[in-house]
Chains A and B, each alone.
Chain A
Amino acid sequence: MPTPQPPHEDVVHSETFLRSLMRRQLSLSISCAAAFLIALIAMPLINYFNPAFMATRVAGFTLTWLILGVLFFPFVWIISGIFIKRSIALEDDEVKTVQAGRKL
């Protein structure tokens, strides 16, 4: 089956498309990363500046142990779940944009 060689002037190969593609993907990735980096950076800081609060006992756990040893994992799942849903939607949207552009 011969594959049609698309012309290189269409939407897909334009500079604007690549820029918007990368920017949209990167901003999605960065906003998800920020949510988790803030948590990751904040934990040692809170431990450092307010050890007494983090030593509060919750059902025997110290608060900081409970967060790091147990609660952190579901938190990561939530972020990755959101990211996957959005990035698949983003890809579909990009495909639509390109196809609309090709029809013109």
Chain B
Amino acid sequence: MSALSLPFAFLGGVDPWIFTFAFVTVAMTIWMGFRSAKSSKTASDFFVAGRSVSVGWNASAISGEYLSAASFMGIAGMVMSSGYDALWYPVCYACGYLFLLLFIAGPLRRFGAYTIPDFAEGRYDSPLFRKIAVCFVLFIGFFYTMPQMKGAGTTLAYIFPGMPYWGGVLLVGAVITLNVALGGMKGITLVQAVQYWIKLFAISVPIFVLLSVYGFYGTHLQANHVNPAAAPAAIVGEADNSRATEAAAEVGRKPLVEKAPADTSWVSPFGPLTTKAAKAAGLTAEQTKPYSLLYTYSLIMALVCGTAGLPHILVRFYTNPDGAAAKRTTMWVMILIGVFYVFPPVFGVIGRNLMPELYSGVGAKGTDKVVLELPTLLSAKYGVLGSILSGITCAGAFAAFMSTFSGLLVSMTGALAHDVYGRMIKPTATAEERMRMFKWCAILVGGISVVLGAFVENLEIAFMVGQAFAIAAASYFPLLFMSVWWRGMTMKGAATGMLVGGLSSLVAAALTNVSTLALDKGPMGKIFGGFAPLNTYWSHHPLLRTLCDQPAIWAVPLAIVLMVVVSKATASDVPGDVRMKMLVLHAPEKLGLKQEYIQEHAAGPGH
């Protein structure tokens, strides 16, 4: 190959349909960003979309932002690779929203502030606490950015078979950064809302076609034998297994490859996902089960509490005109994401039967791309239809990581421009200076995200998201929950709990991450090779490994206990007007207490 043609080498072998659909999605995103850039004029437009987004738009936008690459590709990939246990991800992503609705959404909206750092400062009258909160916005944001970037790299490597993984990360990072820098929050609200519907369409239509061609969801599941020896009851007997064989024949099941988990452990609870630590320790099946149960509960806790604490989701509640609208929005979000989440596991289930060769792939070539690749099966029977459907799922994947990444970018950029620059570095900055800073911060944050994203090719998407959630669960969730419902909280208590909870989760998650990366045979293995001995340690201490892998089960209670203890110890620091703050948080907005609060506070430095 000559040096001249090398830059275009990745264009060889590109499916025109897939390319077209993906290109149209990207082009539409950029176009909408540019269009709304013209109408985003004021600083408020940039930060909270002028606070007047209707319920329908906002619900679609929240859902669009929420359904990330992890939801779109990661869940399918994880169901395919781990089976039943991975179902907890979609269920808890959806349930976390309920928690947000029940305990946090209403009060936060009534309190009215641009961002979480605003809330942290307003609730405790402490500029110092704002700084701590800002650091956590950035922290959690970057952790959650990495899996989105992996989604981008994987998808582009699929569309352009010759393209390196990092190339995709760079390209998508650049496009979104440009979009955010131009349009700010208002710019992306429209984009997010439209992208929800693209995603729902892209995940459901190929499923319906695949199911009508290759057999029903249940039939595909039935094809997995349950071994009576592993589930020792009368119900699973000869009859069941003969039905399984029939079903397997009906859907045209292909033989599993060596790396695929066996039927029984895949289709039953407490399978490969939750037993990693115990397997490494060489425990028997019976000894393994308690660890699996522990892992499952910790995962549930991380996902449910983590959802309620993700900064980029919370900031959107401020774009509702009032608290009742915020509640109605959450209801719609719940319906929209619930409908969506039924579909990704179906891809995993069908993929296991019809595309088992993906089990052998690693990194960008593994099960994470089942959503993109599965529709191409139809090409054998129906020619171009397979490519079209695969193009549609690619478009959906693009929508997924682009919308989530732009949401993250807005909240992180907002934290940098609004809090770090606008309040700490240069409080006297004019509105125009702040807007310019917003753009520069977007570029900075986008750049860092791309670099981080390039490093994580070997980690599973849904797994990385789980860890980001674990950190959010142990820092923001306790902070918000306790600040809203307990008036005895002090700034020191809140900060201690949040920092210790969040940082200990971070360290625990990082330890398991580096030990996994150390096992990698590629360049990552060399970089993190020093951590390889950790794996030997894990194999002797499966309990510790489980607790580090999924830290939420101890980190969330730890954060809450610390908050209570330290707050009690520093009870004299409870803000003097805490009763008024509580009233603003809880009293119906119709009573107009917020106005009164602002007037009383007008002399002070806060809001």
Q: Which A residues are closer than 8 A to B by beta carbons?
A: 3, 5-6, 12-13, 15, 18, 21-22, 25-26, 29, 32-33, 36, 40-41, 44-45, 47-48, 51-62, 64-65, 68-70, 72-74, 76-77, 79-81, 83-84, 87-88, 91-92, 94-95, 98
Contact = CB atoms under 8 A, between A and B. Distances in A.
B112 to A, nearest CB: 16
A64 B270 CA distance: 12
16 contacts: A12-B583, A18-B582, A21-B586, A41-B297, A44-B296, A47-B270, A52-B234, A54-B269, A60-B219, A60-B222, A64-B268, A65-B267, A69-B91, A73-B91, A81-B331, A92-B588
Given A61-B221, A62-B226, A68-B88, A55 B98 contact: no
Contacts, number: 162
A81 B218 CA distance: 29
Nearest to A79: B98
B588 A91 contact: yes
- Of A33, A88, A91, the most chain B CB neighbours within 10 A belong to A91
Contacts of A48: 269-270, 289, 293
A60 B218 contact: yes
B324 interface: yes
Contacts of B327: 84, 87-88
Interface of B: 84, 87-88, 90-92, 94-95, 97-99, 101-103, 106, 216-222, 226, 231-236, 240, 243, 247, 267-270, 289, 293, 296-297, 300, 304, 324, 327-328, 330-331, 334-335, 338-339, 341-342, 345, 485, 579-580, 582-583, 586-588, 590-591, 593, 595-596, 599
A84 B221 CA distance: 36
B119 to A, nearest CB: 18
A88 B293 CA distance: 38
B62 to A, nearest CB: 14
Contacts of A92: 588
The 10 closest A-B pairs by CB, nearest first: A60-B218, A52-B233, A73-B338, A60-B222, A47-B269, A91-B588, A29-B102, A59-B218, A68-B87, A44-B296
A95 B91 CA distance: 36
A21 B587 contact: yes
Given A18-B582, A62-B226, A12 B593 contact: yes
Contacts of A64: 84, 268-269
Given A12-B583, A76-B94, A94-B588, A3 B268 contact: no
A55 B226 contact: yes
Given A18-B579, A76-B94, A62 B267 contact: yes
Nearest to A91: B588
A84 B323 CA distance: 11
A73 B337 CA distance: 9
A11 B593 CA distance: 13
Given A40-B95, A70-B342, A95-B588, 19 more contacts: A12-B583, A18-B583, A29-B102, A32-B98, A41-B297, A52-B231, A55-B235, A57-B240, A57-B243, A59-B218, A60-B217, A61-B222, A62-B221, A62-B267, A62-B268, A76-B98, A80-B97, A84-B331, A91-B588
Nearest to A30: B102
A75 B590 CA distance: 31
Contact of B268 (A12, A21, A51, A59): A51
B220 A73 contact: no
Contacts of A80: 97-98, 101, 330-331, 334
Is chain A's binding surface mostly helix, strand, loop or mixed?
A: helix
A77 B588 contact: no
A73 B331 contact: no
B106 A3 contact: no
A22 B586 contact: yes
Given A60-B218, A68-B91, A83 B596 contact: no
Contacts of A26: 485
A29 B339 contact: no
A73 B324 contact: no
A44 B334 contact: no
Given A65-B267, A68-B88, A76 B219 contact: no
A21 B297 CA distance: 33
Contacts of B91: 68-69, 72-73
A12 B101 CA distance: 25
A69 B240 contact: no
Nearest to B593: A12
Contact of B221 (A5, A53, A65): A65
B235 A83 contact: no
Nearest to B333: A80
